[in-house]
Structure 1
Amino acid sequence: MSIIDQLFDIGTSTWLDDLSRDRITSGNLGEIKASKSIKGVTTNPAIFAKAMSAGTAYDAQLAELKAARSDVDTAVYAMSVKDVQDACDLFADVFAATDGRDGRVSIEVDPRYAADEARTVAHAAELARLVDRPNVMIKIPATDESLPAITATLAAGISVNVTLIFSVGRYRQVIDAYREGLRQAAANGHDVSAIHSVASFFVSRMDTEVDNRLETIGTDEALALRGQAGIANARLAYQLFLDEFSDPAALPAGANKQRPLWASTGVKNPAYPADMYVTELAGPDTVNTMPEATLDAVIEAGELKGDTLTGTAEDAQAVFARLAAVGIDIDDVVSVLEREGVEKFVDAWQDLLDSMSANLAD
């Protein structure tokens, strides 16, 4: 049994946070699935921007799209959808074996729509229609404007990966949006047992922002708190998950819990253990989506600590109390991270559109 299998036995499913045409056509994704026990795949605009900006793997499809005079938005999503379809097919066996919990592949709505509820809802439905696979998950950011879009998309019977969550307060709103979406889905006649959702909590970005502020403060008390905010934040989110989903009556009959997903799990500070956002966030009913470097670091370390989530809320709250005492304004941290999170995806997507526009015009 591999270390990733052991992690799965604790309750954490491992998904790969990367996808490209090269990974699929070379057989690399299938090899990683078989040898490293990954159970799904997540993507985002930055991942696709990187994939499509390198190499020649997309050239043939791009030539077809150019001949068809496709506009750049249509072309980029056609290439993204093809990758997601192929990945969904590769993970169809995992999807079947886990009754839909795993074997999932995520694709994100256009990040430029993050402040536009109607366009987010319409694009989510369009992506679900285009991919046309039961194991696709549509990623929607947890912005104020997108919370109703999450509800509406779930109400249409579409599984959703809610992304860019940075705070427990926002996560509570996401849970409310999920519950309401399932209630509406049931009322609309959808089989709620077929609808799955994850709530993607970003971890390392929290530490990066907080650590920078702690270093600016510079006291011994502040510096001693570096590298603790991200894990504490996720552990508090997990306690909220336990509290909110402990009563089966809180959801329609047959509905699934919305599992927490730990994202941004590659360490940004090389001084930290490369596997810390995995070993310190292992527990029942969770997902950890990892870049391949983090996945390999976990395998190389070869050691887990068991369930490191259950019963940790009190200590996590104490970390936040100490952060506040040295002058860290967590509300401001979260505000900055949410704004920058959307901006980074928009910038990456716009850069990709600009480069593809040039290719289509050649």
Structure 2
Amino acid sequence: MGRPEVALVKLPYLAPPLLLLVGAAVDVFAPRPHYGLPLLACTPLVAGTVYSFRASALFALLACGVAGAVAQYAGREKSAQATDVLVVLVIGLVGLWIKWFADRQRRDLALALTVAEAAQRAVLPAPPPAVGAIAVADRYVAAQVGAAIGGDLYALQETPFGIRALIGDVRGKGLRAVSAVSVAVGAFREAAEHAPSLHGLADRLDRALDREGARRQATLDDIEGFVTALLVQIPPSGETVTVLNRGHPPPYLVSEGKVSCLEPANPELPLSTGLGPAHGAPVEETFAFAEHDSLVLVTDGVTEARNERGVFFDVVGALSELGRRKPDELADGVVQAVTRWTGGQRQDDMAVLVLTRTPGQPEA
């Protein structure tokens, strides 16, 4: 037996020919003439919603032909036959014009969305699937429908100090935050190659964001206020991972099926607050990173996602259910779990970055 959802999808495509047949039958067998004419006139309008322009034009011609044939079969006067055909023709032409206009608007919209997505992705390019012996997966779901990115950001690159990664969140969401995202990502790309420590890298990001705010002569609210950031460094040996947290949700370490939330020992303020670190020099924390271990970086679109009862999403529980997986599977699993938890509601921008140490990592 066929699947019922497939039949429902095909049903609209059957509507135009059914309208032709039913309209002709009603016009022939109805006690008074012209009862089926509205159905015939609707045929090209309905065809325009499901078929191509050429197919819609064909149905318009068929409707005119059927209207004329039925009127002639019923023995109506020539003037009545011409009127029936003219009515169907005029409505058919109107339907074809609507179809042409809608198709042009759809093409223009598709082109605009393609250009916009390309521009946004130029600001936040996707990381490579692997850097050295670190497999990488990323997922991004913007809160604003139609946008490719919003206020969340991430970047990853290989440097003389090892692999460095950034994940962050500009206060606010949507396209207003994209300019701050571009500043943070651009500053990371340049500074990651030269800053000898994650502390120095965070300082450079802080100064870059402050300079941008001063250049625009804007208030904190105008530049979205601040940026939470999590900086990660994996040395060439790959045996450890060092984390510096500036007010961002902590990362999660998946090791041998166990999930650990790497909460910072000394929570620090976000970047671009104008106050600097809360406790002087931020503390860089180092953790063991064995083969097959995965570090999962997320934004608050994941950690603060709520269900209909207002309960927060359990990241540790979701990752524990997923267990040891490939990076793509972990990233997809987190996004799917959040989507199920929120009932499909886009409550905030959501970014996930997964770094997995693959076998064969060279020793130091």
- The structure richer in helix per residue is 1
TM-score by length of 1: 0.28
Specify which structure has the higher proportion of strand. Answer: 2
Q: TM-score scaled to structure 2, two decimals?
A: 0.28
Larger Rg: 2
